[in-house]
Amino acid sequence: MQSTPVKKIEPPKTARGMKTRANILRAAEQVFGNKGFHAASIAEITQVAEVSQGTFYIYFPDKEEAFRALVEYMGQETQAFIRQRTGAAQTRLEAERLGLQAFLSFVAEHKNLYRIVLESLFVDEAIYRSYFSKFGALYQSRLDAAAAHGEITAGDTEVRAWCLMGVSHFLGMRYGLWDSPDAHARVVDAATDFITHGLQARGGQ
C-alpha cells in the first residue's frame, strides 16, 4: 500500500483533547494488535474507545493515520524507556547491555505495539523506514560519540548501528514476543558477550 496525501490534523492543544486522542490510540493499539491493520475497522476502534466515529475523525482523517501515530508513539516510548534505563551507564558497552535488557522488557510489556511496528512494513513501507531510520540515526550518533571518547574502536558507525539494531530487533521478536521474560538474563548475557567480543576465537588463537 502506498502513501497518499491526507488532510493534516493538528494535535489537540487542550488536556481534554489530548486525553481523548490518547484513549483512541490505546483502543487502536488493542484492535490493530489483535486483528491486524487490514482486518481492523474504525467502528471497532471507536467501540473499544467508547467514542463516536465522528470523534475519531476529529483526531485522525483515517485509520492509516491512527496506525502511523501508533508507530511513532512506539518509537517515542521505546526511546524514552531505554534512555531511562541506560542513564546510569558509564561506558558504551554498559549502555548496550542495559539498553538490550530494557528493549526486551519493553517489547514483552507492549506486544501489540511491537506487532504494529512489524506490520507497518506491509501497510506503508514509508512508516517502517521512518521508524527504523530515526533509531539508526540516533544510534549512530551515540556510537560516534563513544568512538570519539575511545570507548569503542573506530569504524563505520552507520553499519554498526544497523547491525546492533538487527540484534535487538530479532531478539525482541524471539524473546519479547514469542518467549517468556524468564529467558532475558541469559539472552542479554549471550548478546553482550557477542557485541563485546564478536565471533573471533579467544585465548591467543
The model's pLDDT over 167-184, given as tens digits with 9 standing for 90+, comes to 999 999 999 998 766 779
Closest C-alpha to 71, from 10, 136, 115, 137: 115
How does 95-116 read in b/e, with b if 16+ C-beta sit within 10 Å?
A: bbbbbbbbbbbbbbebebbbbb
68 CB contacts (<8 Å, ≥6 apart)? 124, 127
Q: What is the pLDDT of residue 16?
A: 92
Q: What is the mean pLDDT of residues 130-149?
A: 96
Q: What is the mean pLDDT of residues 151-168?
A: 96
DSSP E strand boundaries for the chain? none
C-alpha grid cell, residue 99: 539498553
Q: What is the pLDDT of residue 204?
A: 55
Amino acid present at 144: D
**Looking at the predicted structure, is the pLDDT value of residue 152 above 60?**
yes
Backbone angles phi, psi at 12, to 5 degrees: -65, 150
Roughly what angle, to the nearest 10 degrees, separates helices 92-109 and 157-172? 30
Amino acid present at 35: K
Q: What is the value of pTM for the model shown? A: 0.85
C-alpha grid cell, residue 148: 570519539
CB-CB contact of 32 with 70 (8 Å): yes
Q: For residues 97 and 103, give the distance between their C-alpha atoms in angstroms, rounded to a whole number.
A: 10
Length of the chain: 205
Mean pLDDT of the chain: 91
3-class secondary structure per residue, 98-129: HHHHHHHHHHHHCHHHHHHHHHHHHHCHHHHH
pLDDT range class, residue 1, cuts 50, 70, 90: very low
Torsion, Cα of 100, 84, 117, 72 (10° steps): -150
Domain 15-197 in CATH 3.40.50.720? The answer is no
**Looking at the predicted structure, is the pLDDT value of residue 3 above 50?**
no
**Looking at the predicted structure, is the pLDDT value of residue 7 above 70?**
no
Torsion, Cα of 123, 62, 173, 91 (10° steps): 110
Q: What is the mean pLDDT of residues 18-42?
A: 94
CB-CB contact of 30 with 48 (8 Å): yes
- Per-residue pLDDT tens for 104-119? 999 999 999 999 999 9
Phi-psi category of residue 89: left, alpha or beta, with phi > 0 → left and psi -120 to 50 → alpha: beta
**Looking at the predicted structure, is the pLDDT value of residue 2 above 80?**
no
